[in-house]
Amino acid sequence: MDKVTKSEEEWKKKLNDQQFQVLRKKATELPFTGEYVNTTEDGKYYCAGCGNELFSSETKFDAHCGWPSFYAANKESVELKEDNSHGMQRTEVVCKKCGGHLGHLFDDGPEPTGKRFCINSVALKFKKI
């Protein structure tokens, strides 16, 4: 996979302010405000920063947490990192291609994986199949 590398200035030009804050500065959008919280249509979710294919609607579920949630990710597309910020021990989910912050991974998801990828809507672009 060819990595996408841009300077902070270049990302600022490419992304809108909210996307920049989440993808490049690891901000979290407010719960229940994101565009894709309740999306149930069939399709794919791509990185809003670089277009990398990240998630499928087939693994999306309603976690009632206020963010789009998936029980699996496109394995080659995401990277997991230890995140000890804000006094919590969490696992950060990052786009492998552009390094953009997507959200966090938790162990309270449904079968078959038991995982919950809790992802910011603004970090995603949905395309219907």
- The residues annotated with a catalytic role in the active site are 118
> Left if phi > 0, otherwise alpha if psi is -120 to 50, otherwise beta: which for 5?
beta
Instruction: Give the binding site for Fe ion (CB under 5 A).
Output: 47, 49-50, 52, 95, 97-98, 100
How far, in Å, CA of 8 to CA of 14, rounded? 10
CB of 59 to Fe ion, least distance (A): 18
Please enumerate in sequence order all residues whose Cβ is within 8 A of that of 57, keeping only pairs 6 or more positions apart, or say none.
39, 40, 41, 42, 43, 44, 45, 129
How far, in Å, CA of 117 to CA of 129, rounded? 21
Between 5 and 40, name the residue whose CB sits nearer to Fe ion.
5
CB of 3 to Fe ion, least distance (A): 9
CB of 95 to Fe ion, least distance (A): 3
Give the angle 77-32-62 at the CA atoms, nearest 5°: 60
Torsion, Cα 39 50 116 93, to 10 degrees, reads -150
CB of 87 to Fe ion, least distance (A): 28
Between 50 and 63, name the residue whose CB sits nearer to Fe ion.
50
Between 91 and 110, name the residue whose CB sits nearer to Fe ion.
91
Between 1 and 129, name the residue whose CB sits nearer to Fe ion.
1
